[in-house]
Amino acid sequence: MEEKISQIQKEYLEKIGKAQNLKELDVIFLELFGKNGIINALSAEFPKLPKEELPEIGPLFNKIKKELETAIEKKREAIREVGYKKLETEKLVLQGDALQLKKRQGHFHPVTQFEKETIDLFEKLGFIQFEAPHIDTDENNFGLLNIPEGHPARDLWDTLYIDSKLLLRTHTSNGQVRAMRKYGVPLRIMIIDRCFRYENLDARHEHTFEQFELVYIDKGVSMANLQYLSEYFFKALLGQDIQARLRPKYFPFVEPGAGVDSECIFCKGKGCKVCGGIGWLELAGAGMIHPTVLKNGGIDPNIYSGIAWGFGPLRMAMLKYGVEDIRKFLSGDLKFLTK
């Protein structure tokens, strides 16, 4: 028995010394200490040994067991050490298959792409971007825009209130008076950002959506500027031959207000299913900024006039990219986003 143990000791110390990598060491470890390994097999033989041999064999067995364990652990450390050194000195060289891997590159969200195009377009006309908070006071979102508390026009928005004073802004117009107070006149700003409403969700309505708004205030600004900006925008984004038209429409913070239609891009004004046979699609809302709103922004409405012009980038992107359900934009569905 003693001889057998010494034999194993010699054989395995040699094997451990020669091991080249961690995998080989693992194999050796299992051969020795695994469930069906040599050590267990030896222990199973102990009861059969003559009683007088046990006091000597027991400690020897334990000593060698420990020695083998330590040798494996030390070798493991040594192999790892070599690996770390290599990492420090070697350069990673990709060959063969590694170079064939197809590169998967990300891209902007379709609505972001559309917004970037829009921003570029109006920057050329001297508009600068302006930001206003998503959580705002009732005063900034409604009061200063000529929609005081209790005014029936507030029913036009299904507002998400946080408490009696704070709300999630229902439109980007909460930046209007802020911008007037910050920059004064003449003013050319655009606000493009998220807004929130308590909506019944369907293919055309989302609780979280984007809005784009232009505010232009100067001496002599009129509805003619609105017509120009609308055509400039539609022609650039939907096609050179697309016309724009203004139609009277009520919005509480403008006077007069207008719905902005583009000629239907599908039938070019002849009338089709998408436009309901009218030949026009309502894409934006606009109007002359109400004198009360100008006054709230510290601007004299007897000298200056202004226009506000806005649309929903999600709706426009639906039209431009032929998307039928508005909810797809926020779904996080990669199949849709990479299409």
Give residues in contact with Zn ion (CB under 5 A).
Answer: 264, 266-267, 272, 275
Give the pairing of strands 208-218 and 187-196: antiparallel
- Tell me, yes or no, if 169 is annotated catalytic: no
Q: Distances from the Cα of 278 to the Cαs of 183, 244, 262, 267, 273, in angstroms? A: 41, 14, 11, 10, 9
- Tell me, yes or no, if 254 is annotated catalytic: yes
> How many other CB atoms sit within 10 Å of the CB of residue 34?
12
From 76, 197, 204, 207, active-site residue: 197
From 71, 111, 132, 157, active-site residue: 157
From 211, 221, 290, 315, active-site residue: 211
Q: How many residues does the chain have?
A: 339
3-state secondary structure of 261: strand
* Residue number, 207 or 245, with CB nearest to Zn ion: 245
* Residue number, 22 or 267, with CB nearest to Zn ion: 267
- Tell me, yes or no, if 76 is annotated catalytic: no
From 111, 254, 260, 317, active-site residue: 254
* Residue number, 57 or 275, with CB nearest to Zn ion: 275
- Name the minimum Å distance from CB 280 to Zn ion: 8
Residue 13 neighbours by CB under 8 Å, 6+ apart: 67, 68, 71
Taking the C-alpha atoms of residue 296 and residue 142, their distance in angstroms, rounded to an integer, is 12
- Tell me, yes or no, if 157 is annotated catalytic: yes
- Name the minimum Å distance from CB 263 to Zn ion: 8
* Residue number, 264 or 308, with CB nearest to Zn ion: 264
Query: Minimal CB distance to Zn ion: which residue?
Result: 264
Residue 283 neighbours by CB under 8 Å, 6+ apart: 234, 260, 261, 262, 311, 315, 316, 319
- Tell me, yes or no, if 308 is annotated catalytic: yes
Catalytic residues: 157, 171, 197, 211, 254, 308
